[in-house]
Amino acid sequence: MTGRRKSPLEIDVTEAHMCSVNLRLHILSQVPFFAGLSQADLDRVNSLFNEQGYAPHETIYFSGDAVKHMFVVADGRVRLMRHSPSGKDVLLDILTPGEFFGSFSAQGDEVYHETAQAHTQTCVLGISVNDFRAILEKNPQVVLRVLDITSARLQAANVRVHQLSALPVEGRIAYLLLVLCAKFGKPGNDGVLIQTPLARDDVAAMTGTTSETASRVMSQFQKDGLIRTGRQWVAVIDLFALEEIAKAEIS
């Protein structure tokens, strides 16, 4: 019935998207900062989470909402974004199973600073900030891991600041494709497919440009044989060439 589809993306068409208990435990054990816990601790932690399914474009929380939960992606893709009154939204990140979002500062923020939205069919595990803080206070190694992850994200954010400040659009898009490739890449027939829906709008919102410009740049990349792309999908063919473009700053 979908034999006509040209898109190489594997899509998940489950209905009410709930995850099995097995999947839950598997996911939690894969979350980097719970990796060190014993099976017993893990079971206890698991019982503190409750799950929730979301359809594409459904909002998990809005920027400005009071902080109540910390979340882990169990299945699907979650978008983290910031809004502007002008309507020009910024896409901070696309999260994949095992990644967490929401509040994770120990102090506890008052409100969320970004909006979380289901990007695909999604199952999300949530834990109240109080419960999460209790886990942090009881398990010092967990805090250290959370700190590591937060540091890495700060790192990545600074790279992005650098690029937005110093690189032209071409370079920023080239770099973005490399990052997404490292995160979502599945080697396929020709090139590495970025296994997530990815519209020109998304690329634009992640690189601080417009969908038209993103389209122009990516069309050029395709003409030059660096990528293959279609509606909502991209596959990277020539990683090395993209690296060169991302690194090349107008001397």
* Chain contacts with a second copy (rule: CB under 8 A): 63-64, 82-86, 88, 90, 92, 104-107, 109, 113-114, 136-137, 140, 143-148, 150-155, 157-158, 160-162, 164-166, 205, 207-208, 247, 249-251
Nearest to 10 by CA among 81, 75, 57, 58: 75
Q: How far is the CB of 77 from a second copy (least distance, A)?
A: 19
Q: How far is the CB of 215 from DNA (least distance, A)?
A: 3
Q: How far is the CB of 143 from a second copy (least distance, A)?
A: 5
Residue 84 interacting partner from a second copy, DNA, none (CB closer than 5 to 8 Å by kind): a second copy
Q: Which of residues 207-246 bind DNA (CB under 7 A)?
A: 208-213, 215-216, 218-219, 222, 229-233
- Of 56 and 208, the one with the shorter C-beta distance to a second copy is 208
- Of 57 and 113, the one with the shorter C-beta distance to DNA is 57
Q: How far is the CB of 186 from DNA (least distance, A)?
A: 17
Residue 251 interacting partner from DNA, a second copy, none (CB closer than 5 to 8 Å by kind): a second copy
